[in-house]
Amino acid sequence: MKWITYIILLISLCTTPVHAVSLDPPAPPEDALQSMPVTQKSFAEDLWYVLRSALDDVSPHFAQGVKLCMSVMAVAMLTSVVNVFPAQNHSVTELCGGLVIATAFLSQAGAMIRMASDTVTELSNYAKLLLPVIASAMVAQGGTTSSATLYTGTAIFNGILCGLIRSVMIPMVYIFIVLAFGKCCIGDGVLDKLQNSAKWLVTWCLKIILYVFTGYMTITGVVSGATDQIALKATKLTISGMVPVVGNILSDASEAVLVSATTAKNVVGVYGAVAIIAITAAPFLRIGIHHLLLKTTAGICGIFGSKRIVGAIHDLSTAMGLLLAMTGTECLLLLISVICFMKGVG
């Protein structure tokens, strides 16, 4: 009878159920969700699907950008033709040309700036939903220290970057554009220095935040990852040693739980990475198209246009480049974080 009791106890310990980890990633905003595949496949296939959807969405905006650049080119050509006549006042002609370009461009510039600001806000809000889920999956895998470190760092830097973009960098872009048209109209060298200062402030802030963040994630990821590996090995050895006979079986069962947690974490991470790209892709391409078209227009107008007009067009292209840098930096920051979470504890 005593042996029967031991056998029943042994069988119950060996058949202890192992529950897999199941975590659902949060859904992105509606616009981004429509550009994502219905069923998740490989990362490469999902990424290609998102990019194709973004390109289809951007096509009408490309035509609008071409019309705008053709109008700007016509103004630059007309200004150059008028300046050929020696009796004309070149300053007045360039003032009028700059005002016409400003009138044609400001509405588009405002739309691009609002789009960049909204994209950064959507990315930041989505990160607040995604990071707790992927961090929970990482904790289930055993990466308690890594999860806390990565989540804290990402949350802090995400908040700092989003706040700086909305309160400092976006106003600097507005100032940069106003100074560009002011420099075009009156040709003041002081405005050129102020404009360069605004550009330097935006680029400096973005570079510093990205450099510090990547350094933080690299250092803490290595240290905390090593700590979690030691803790996991110690836990498995403890389970194996505490329970006689079946300790190795329970240790292997805990290994199965960790494998399922790793799978859940990677599924959430891949979905989150695709969602982040889906949020960014269409606005990034729209702004990028305007950036390239204006840069091309500045190059063409440089053949026949006046220096001030060409400089204003080039400055407008630079302003679009600053918006690209803002949205791209926010997207890259979150992607780096997701990759670090997917790396896990080794």
pLDDT tens for each residue of 33-61: 888 887 777 777 888 888 888 888 887 87
Coil, helix or strand at residue 256: helix
Contact 77, 300 (CB under 8 A): no
* pLDDT confidence tier of residue 173, bands split at 50, 70 and 90: very high
Report the distance separating Cα 245 and Cα 226, nearest Å: 30
CA distance 126 to 177: 30
Nearest to 283 by CA among 115, 46, 117: 115
For residues 181 and 184, what is the distance between their CA atoms, to the nearest angstrom?
A: 5
Element (H, E) at 300: helix 247-304
pLDDT score of 116: 92
Instruction: Give me the half-sphere count of Cα atoms (radius 13 Å) on the Cβ side of residue 328.
Output: 14
Give residues with Cβ within 8 angstroms of 204, minimum separation 6.
none
Cα 305 from Cα 307, distance rounded (Å): 7
- Across 140-156, b (16+ Cβ under 10 Å) vs e yields bbbbbbbbebbbebbbe
- Rounded CA-CA distance 57/340 in Å is 31
Q: What was the pLDDT predicted at 122?
A: 93
Per the structure block, which two tokens stand in for 136?
A: 């929970």
Helix axes 247-304, 307-343, angle to 10 degrees: 170
Q: Phi and psi at residue 305, in whole multiples of 5°?
A: -85, 165
Cβ atoms < 10 Å from Cβ of 296: 14
Which pair of structure tokens corresponds to residue 237? Answer: 């050895």
Report the C-alpha gap between 163 and 155 in whole angstroms.
12
Q: pLDDT tens across 128-157, in order?
A: 888 888 877 777 666 677 777 788 888 898
Q: Rounded CA gap, 333 and 275, in Å?
A: 14
Evaluate the CA torsion angle 160, 161, 165, 166 in order and state its sign.
Answer: negative
Residues 80 and 94 sit within 8 Å (Cβ to Cβ): no
pLDDT number for residue 69: 83
Highest mean pLDDT among 21-30, 70-79, 210-219, 277-286: 277-286
State how far the Cα of 284 lies from the Cα of 116, in Å rounded to an integer.
Answer: 8
Pair of tokens at residue 169:
């960098």
DSSP 38: S
Per-residue pLDDT, averaged over 261-284, amounts to 76
Residue 49's SS3 state is helix
Whether 273 shows a pLDDT value over 60: the answer reads yes
pTM metric for this prediction? 0.78
pLDDT above 50: residue 94: yes
